[in-house]
Amino acid sequence: MTTEQMPGRVVPTLEAVAARAGVSRATVSRVVNGSPKVTAEVVAAVERAIADLNYVPNRAARSLASRRTQVIALVLPESTAKVFADPFFASIVQGVALALADTEYTLNMVISSETNPDKTRRYLMGGNVDGALVVSHHSGDHSYAQLGASLPLVFGGRPVSESEHSSYYVDVDNVAGAQVATQHLIDRGRRDIALITGPQDMPAGLDRYTGWKQAMSQAGLDTSLVAYGDFSPASGSDAMRRLLADGRRIDGLFAANDQMAAGAYSAIHEAGLSIPGDIAVVGYDDDNFGLMSSPPLTTVHQPSIGLGEAMARVLVRLLAGEPVDRVTLLPTELVVRQSS
C-alpha cells in the first residue's frame, strides 16, 4: 500500500500565536527567543497562547531567517563506521547525543564516505550546520582540519600533525594512562615489561608508547621490548608470539588496547605460560574483551562517554562565543583485575 502525504501544516504558525495573544509576530518571536525586553504580562499572554495552540517553531524558517542552523554534525569516517563494533566509538556517539540533548542543538550524524570525501566537505561548508565534531582513529582523517578555518570544529583525539595545533580537540590523556598502567606493573615487581603498541601513525598508538617509555625510563628499565600491532586481537597474538620467540625474558606486558591484550592472552597460553604468574598483563580501553577474558584483565578505563560529552560541550561553548581551551585532556583510571 502507499502512503498519502501528510495534510498541510499540523502545527500553528507564529502568526497564529500572535493573533491569539493579541500581539505582533515580532513580539512572539522575542518571547520564543527569550528576549529580556518584553513585559512580564505580555510574556505570560504569549506563553499561554503557545501552550493553548501547542505551537512549535519551524526550524527551517528560523534557520533561514537567523542564518543559524542549530545543527551540529558528528562526522564519522566510513572506516570508523566499520569498526563501529568498537564500543569506544559507540560511547562517543552516545556521549555527544546526551550532551546535546540538553541544548538547542540537533545532532546530525554524517558518515563521510571515503570514496567521496568532498561530498561531506561540501555539506559541512554549505551552511547546513553550525559546527562539527570530527572523530577519527587514523591521522589521515584530520583532512578536515582545513575546514576549521571557516567552520567551528572540534576533534576527538589528538591530531597527529602538529601543524594542526591550531584546532580544538578533546582527548583522553593517553600518555598519562599508559604511564600509570606501566607503573602499576613496575610496582608489582615486574622488570622485563614488554609493550605491544598500535600503529605509530595513530595518536593512541604513539602516546601509549610514550607513556610506557616514560614509566620504564624513569624506573631505569630497558625500553626495547616492543612489538607493533594494529589494535586487532589477531595482531595482538602475532605480536606476542614474536616477543616470545625472541627468547628474551618477559615478566610483564602492557598492551595498548584490550583487544590486542586478548590476542596476547592466547599466545601466552599457547606458550604454556600463565597470567599473571609468568607474565602480568595490563591492557587499555576497559572493553568487553578485558572483562570477559580469564583472568579478567587489568586495564585502563577511558571516559568514552565523557569524551563525547566533552566534545559536544566544547563546541557548544565555541558556538556561544565563550572562551574555550584548544586542548581538553580527560583523565583515565586504572582498573585493577586479576591479570597483574
| 6 interface partner picked from DNA, a second copy, none, CB below 5 to 8 A per type | a second copy
What strand order describes the sheet that includes 226-228? 226-228, 193-197, 252-255, 280-282
> Footprint of a second copy on residues 160-219 (CB under 8 A)?
none
Question: For a second copy, how many residues bind (rule: CB under 8 A)?
Answer: 62
Q: Find the shortest distance in angstroms from Cβ 129 to DNA.
A: 15
Q: Minimal distance in Å, beta carbon 73 to a second copy?
A: 9
- Does position 76 interact with a second copy (CB under 8 A)? The reply is yes
Q: Which residues, numbered 183-222, are part of the site for DNA (CB under 7 A)? A: none
CA distance linking residue 47 with residue 53, whole number of Å: 10
Segment lying near a second copy (by CB under 8 A), choices 3-11, 18-26, 31-39, 270-278: 3-11
Residue 253 pairs in a beta bridge with 194, 281
Q: Among 26, 51, 245, 292, which residue interacts with a second copy (rule: CB under 8 A)?
A: 292
Closest CA to 334 of 287, 279, 290, 284: 284
- The reply on whether position 146 binds a second copy by CB under 8 A is no
* All three cell numbers of 96: 555527544
CB of 38 to DNA, least distance (A): 4
Chain CA centroid to CA 266, Å: 30
Q: Is residue 91 near a second copy by the rule CB under 8 A?
A: yes
Q: What's the CA angle centered on 254, arms 249 and 255, to 5 degrees?
A: 120
Under rule CB under 8 A, residue 89 binds a second copy: yes
| Contact positions with a second copy (CB under 8 A) in 250-279 | 262
Q: Pick out residues in 48-77 that bind DNA (CB under 7 A).
A: 55, 57-58, 61-62, 64-68
**334 bridge partner residues:** 300
Q: What would the x/- binding string for DNA be over residues 2 to 31, using CB under 7 A? A: -------x---xxx------xxxxxx-xx-
CB nearer to a second copy: pick between 133 and 180 = 133
37-56 residues in contact with a second copy (CB under 8 A) are 54, 56
Cα dist from 314 to 154, 173, 328, whole Å = 7, 17, 9
Question: Which residue among 32, 42, 81, 330 contacts a second copy (CB under 8 A)?
Answer: 81
The answer to whether 108 contacts DNA (rule: CB under 7 A) is no
Q: Is 323 in the site for a second copy (CB under 8 A)?
A: yes
Q: Is 115 in the site for a second copy (CB under 8 A)?
A: no
Output 32 or 226, the one with its CB closest to a second copy. 32
CB of 55 to DNA, least distance (A): 7
Stretch binding a second copy (CB under 8 A), from 94-102, 155-163, 176-184, 270-278: 94-102
Query: Under 8 Å CB-to-CB from 5, ≥6 apart: which residues?
Result: none
Residues that bind a second copy (CB under 8 A): 1-3, 5-6, 9-11, 54, 56-61, 63-64, 67, 69, 74, 76, 81, 84-85, 87, 89-91, 93-94, 97-98, 101, 106-111, 113, 122-123, 125-128, 150-152, 262, 287-289, 292-294, 318-319, 321-324
Judged by the rule CB under 7 A, the positions of this chain that interact with DNA are: 9, 13-15, 22-27, 29-30, 32-33, 37-39, 41-42, 55, 57-58, 61-62, 64-68
